[in-house]
Amino acid sequence: MIVFDHASVTYPGGVHALKDISLEIPDGEMMVIVGLSGAGKSTLIRAINGLVPLTDGDVIVDGVSVRKASGDQLRRLRSKIGMIFQTFNLVKRTSVLNNVLMGRLHTTGTARSLFGWYKPADVEIAMQALERVDIVEKAYVRAANLSGGQQQRVGIARALAQEPTIILADEPVASLDPPTSHVVMRDLQRINRDLGITTIVNLHFLDLAKVYCERIIGLRAGELVYDGTGAQADEGVFRDIYGRSLTADDLLEAPSLT
């Protein structure tokens, strides 16, 4: 379980990215965060694995305080949390398999990892992760030679290879075209259902959010303005979150909503 307890983040420049957020995310939930860019979605997600340090309050992940965790504790916590990025964040010059194996670094000793002598069991886990997102045939191809959608699936495989209990996805489809976006969202949904991994996704597109997620929370200027189901989230709710009416830019496929 993830608990936000009056969590706040103020950046050095004085920007209040998160203001006094309190929130509970039970195990196995698939939750989506919507909001304008700059509303604090990325900050909220990065507060969970400590990539962005809190300035007030706390986030408790499976009973561990992210704010009070030592460097070592934080690394152990992060090893249980997979992360997926808008720009995929793959090492483009190396093979897909090497990228996925980055998810096994946390159980690999320093000397072994420097020379790349991964244990056969770890390679097996990486291969299975690639099979789960249906891209194992590209295992020895350079990541740079893959399409955007394929790269994002490798990114998901890297997160899966950690054998995580939580997956954080920061705008996973923002760099992809609509059909590919659906493939990636379906992958995430499948992983959530089949493996019971708590999945938290930042999305800009509201229609996608409604299709794939039970629970939606809305952020506006760092504040929690909505927390409910996708079914309840109507036009009025979105006006609250966005501070304006919906436009075609807020939808992945303009005609599919309403």
Partner 1 sequence: MNGTNNAGPPRESRPRRPSNAKRNVAFIFALLVIVGSVLSVDIKYERLVDLPAGIWLVVYKMYFERGPDLSYLGVSIEHMVQSIEIAWVGTIIGAVLSLPIGFVAAKNVSSGIISNVFRQVLNGIRAFPELVLAVAIFIPIAGLGPVAGALAIGIHSVGTLGKLTAEVVEGIDAGPVEAARASGGRWVQIQRWGVLPQVLPEIVAFWLYRFEINIRAAAVLGVVGAGGIGFIVQQTIVFGRFPLAGTALLVVIIATILVDTVSGWVRRRIIEGVETRRIVDAEIEQPALVDGSAA
Partner 2 sequence: MTVAAGAESRRPAKPRPSLAIPIGLVTFAVITWISVSREFGIDLNLGELAENITRGARILVREDTNPADRGLLNPNWVFLTETAEPMLETFAMAVLASVMGCGLALPVSFLVSRVTAPNGLVLSIGRAILSVIRAIPDILYALLFVAAVGVGPLPGILALLFFNIGVTVKLLSETVDGVDPGPIEAGRASGATGMQTTRWAVVPQILPNYVAYSLYVFELNIRASTVLGIVGAGGIGRMLYREYGFFHWSNVSVIIVELFVMVFLIELVSIWLRRRLV
What would the x/- binding string for partner 1 be over residues 122 to 141, using CB under 8 A? -----xx--xxxx-xxxxx-
| Residue 73 contacts which entry, partner 1, partner 2, none (Cβ below 5-8 A, type-dependent) | none
Name the minimum Å distance from CB 123 to partner 1: 10
Minimal CA–CA distance to 176: which of 205, 199, 196, 198? 205
CB of 21 to partner 2, least distance (A): 20
Residues 6+ positions from 190 with CB-CB distance below 8 Å: none
Nearest CB to partner 1, comparing residues 141 and 211 = 141
Select 155 or 218, whichever has its Cβ closest to partner 2.
155
Taking the complex as a whole, how short is the minimal distance between the CB of residue 139 and partner 1, in angstroms?
Answer: 5
On whether the CB atoms of residues 2 and 61 are closer than 8 A, the answer is: yes
**Residue 142: CB minimum distance to partner 2, A:** 10
Question: What's the CA gap between 125 and 211, in Å, rounded?
Answer: 30
- For residue 104, give the DSSP letter: G
Would you say 51 or 195 has its CB closer to partner 1?
195
Binding residues for partner 2 (CB under 8 A): 49, 51, 75-83, 85, 87-94, 98, 101-103, 105-106, 108, 110, 113-114, 155, 158-159, 162, 168
- Report the C-alpha gap between 227 and 97 in whole angstroms: 38
Q: Which is nearer to partner 2, 63 or 236 (CB)?
A: 63
- Which of the residues 161 through 220 are near partner 1 (CB under 8 A)? 190, 194-196
Q: Write out the E strands in the chain.
A: 2-10, 16-25, 30-34, 56-61, 64-65, 81-84, 166-169, 198-203, 215-220, 223-229
Per the CB < 8 A criterion, the answer to whether 226 and 240 are in contact is yes
Q: How many residues touch partner 1 (CB under 8 A)?
A: 20
Find, among 100, 102, 128, the residue nearest to 113 by Cα: 102
CB of 88 to partner 2, least distance (A): 7
Nearer to partner 1, 55 or 128 (CB): 128
